Amino acid sequence: MSQGVSLHGASPKIDVLIPARNEEEALPILLKEMDRSYLRQIVVVDNGSTDRTAAVAVELGCVVVPCPKPGYGGACLAGMAHLAQNPPDLLVFLDGDRSDDPSQMRRLIDPILADEQDFVLGSRALGQAEKGSLTITQRFGNALATTLMNFFWKSSYTDLGPFRAISWSALSQLAMQDPNFGWTIEMQIKATAMGLRVIEEPVPYRNRIGTSKISGTLNGVVKAGYKILFTIFKYRFLQRPIVKSKGKP
């Protein structure tokens, strides 16, 4: 199903969405590395921060959207609701802790701008991960989740990485719902089930600045693992199957 961005006679509107909670230290470094020359705006969703994350983002020229209730998916949904007022052609998601390398962004967006893909996932498994950037539990969880997803939906994912780009028209069709840890895999399951054109691109992964809200705590690891597996079985067995579209919406 083609959901490509039309570039005829106009410059594409490309936005970046960064969910952030207590990232005042990492954000200035991350944003300094980002080439803004082809971006319309950077939206930072302040996901219940107790530090100066929001103030720092404003000082650095970002649009700040408040989302007081912690939850990765909820932050993404809040950012999308804000963007829906004047949507981009293409949206890039990446984390605010500097683990994702924004210099690789063109690898993700160019196939969409060329109308060759609808959704491009940055794969840490295919790329080069710094020592210590991915824990053993993260690697095992990614391998288990992608194996199950690939088995049930005949996909070929290698990762659930947060660094990803998708056309707005395709994203809108996915009707995203998950408010927390199931967000990334929900997007991947729905994209495959609906017949979007999907590829992975290898991207490097760096040690984050600060402590992870998920992999840095046992509670976070358990909750994330449970939610990811629940999401897989939810869309495979509990909900009405998503039927592939026969053409453009």
Please report, in tens digits, the pLDDT of each residue of the chain (249 residues total).
Answer: 444 455 444 799 999 999 999 999 999 999 999 999 999 999 999 999 999 999 999 999 999 999 999 999 999 999 999 999 999 999 999 999 999 999 999 999 999 999 999 999 999 999 999 999 998 888 988 999 999 999 999 999 999 999 999 999 999 999 999 999 899 999 999 999 999 999 999 999 999 998 765 544 546 567 778 889 999 999 998 875 455 554 444
**Read out DSSP for 83-108?**
HTTS--SEEEE--TTS-B-GGGHHHH
3-state secondary structure of 146: helix
Amino acid (one-letter) located at 94: L
Contact 146, 232 (CB under 8 A): no
Handedness of CA 146, 209, 171, 80 (dihedral sign): positive
14-236 folds as Spore Coat Polysaccharide Biosynthesis Protein SpsA; Chain A (3.90.550)
State how far the Cα of 184 lies from the Cα of 28, in Å rounded to an integer: 25
Q: What is the pLDDT of residue 7?
A: 47
Q: What is the pLDDT of residue 212?
A: 61
State how far the Cα of 64 lies from the Cα of 26, in Å rounded to an integer: 16
Q: What is the pLDDT of residue 5?
A: 53
Amino acid (one-letter) located at 66: P
Contact 232, 189 (CB under 8 A): yes
State how far the Cα of 63 lies from the Cα of 50, in Å rounded to an integer: 18
Domain ranges of the chain: 14-236
State how far the Cα of 14 lies from the Cα of 169, in Å rounded to an integer: 13
Contact 71, 180 (CB under 8 A): yes
Q: What is the pLDDT of residue 137?
A: 84
Overall pTM > 0.75? yes
- Which one, of 157, 189, 158, lies nearest residue 175 by Cα? 189
